[in-house]
Amino acid sequence: MTSAQKTSARVNAAPAETPTFPLNAWYAAAWSHEIEHALAPRTICGKEIVLYRRTDGAVAALENACWHRLLPLSLGWLQGDEVVCGYHGLVFDAGGRCTHMPAQETINPSACVRTYPVIERHRLVWIWPGDPALADPAEMPDFHWNDGTEWIGEGGTYYGLRCDYRLIVDNLMDLTHETYVHAGSIGHDAITAASFDVTHTDRTATVTRWMLGIDPPPFWARNLGKPGLVDRWQIITFQAPSVVVGDVGVAPVGTGAQQGDRSQGVNGCFLAAITPATATTCHYFWNFVRTFKKDDEALTRSINLAHVNAEGKGLYDQDVTVLEAQQRAIETHPRLPFYNLNIDAGALWARRMIDRLLADEAQRSAPAAAAE
């Protein structure tokens, strides 16, 4: 390409959208129990992917487009551990290699579809949508609270939530919204009145808030089952780029919870693995787990329904209403940046880490782009 052609190409090219999510990261794609020996399509970070469980129990993840005419492979079917395209019958193995073409014996060696690294851990299936050579299992987010052993709880997923995944991160890193969005359950004026600390590492940011000697909000009063004032804690940790874990609970006032003795209180964790689908939609894998009344299955079910229920009035349903309305407002009245308050300190650290990952990814890909 001549210099003039390059200049023309730059002028005529549509402006590239600024990426909002890094590709080189592990993202939750499904609960383990959702992936069976059947084709399950997902959109992960703008990639169309089809998942299925092989007969040996491992999960395969392939690009959801046939090499031949791009029909989604999820419209085909499984033949053993291979995927048969529902259009012309091309067959692809779990490694993405074509093993059968109709009406010809010689298979084009370039006939393959992309595969994605997969790890199944903490009751979830995680996918690495970026460069497979960089898919390091050591970079898996810590989500051990979801294992179903020490902590008990049953969660769920909002698939195709209509908002930028970062809005959920913002929401969870600033729990003052509970006072207004979740009044009547976990909201409390003390949340907005209490001071908080923000700490960080290279890949995490943590917001710590203690509310000492307050009356407990309804949810915690009911589960503590003891009269009187309480000490309440909220310790929220973000793991870049999109996992948030909230250590929350209450204990009778002055019983040492802040010093580390929670034995007289009740402790829970909210878990959020947020996966971008597109720039303005995401999948929200959530759970609320606890260490109290672990054998009470009715309580497990009750807490699950309190978060998401058919009437759309659950705790997280309330968040979804706000988040999707916020996304619509952003699209109607675009302006950047947001105005920030002191309460946004944790969210700002999270966004800073996401931006750094994006910058690193752009820098890594820059030499290849310059060579074109």
Tens-place pLDDT, residues 29-80: 999 999 999 999 999 999 999 999 999 999 999 999 999 999 999 999 999 9
Is there a contact between 243 and 272 (Cβ–Cβ < 8 Å)? Answer: yes
| Structure confidence at residue 188 (pLDDT) | 77
Give 146-360's CATH code, choosing from 1.20.1250.20, 3.90.380.10, 3.40.190.10, 3.40.1210.10.
3.90.380.10
The pTM of this model reads 0.91
Alpha-carbon gap, residue 214 to 68, rounded angstroms: 65
| Structure confidence at residue 97 (pLDDT) | 97
What residue ranges of the chain are covered by domains with CATH 2.102.10.10?
27-137
What residue ranges of the chain are covered by domains with CATH 3.90.380.10?
146-360
CA neighbor of 173 nearest in space, from 270, 313, 312, 306: 270
Is there a contact between 140 and 128 (Cβ–Cβ < 8 Å)? Answer: no
Architecture of domain 27-137: 3-layer Sandwich (2.102)
Average pLDDT, the chain: 91
Please state whether 29 falls in left (phi above 0), alpha (psi between -120 and 50) or beta.
alpha
Output the 3-class SS for 80-102: CCEEECCCCCCEECCCCEEEECC
List, in order, residues 6 or more apart from 362 with CB less than 8 Å away: 19
Q: What is the dihedral of CA 152, 154, 158, 163, to 10 degrees?
A: -20
| Structure confidence at residue 128 (pLDDT) | 98
Alpha-carbon gap, residue 367 to 370, rounded angstroms: 5
Q: Which residues of the chain have pLDDT under 50?
A: 1-15, 371-372
Where do the H-state alpha helices sit in the chain?
3-12, 165-173, 178-181, 189-193, 218-224, 297-307, 315-332, 345-371
| Structure confidence at residue 90 (pLDDT) | 97
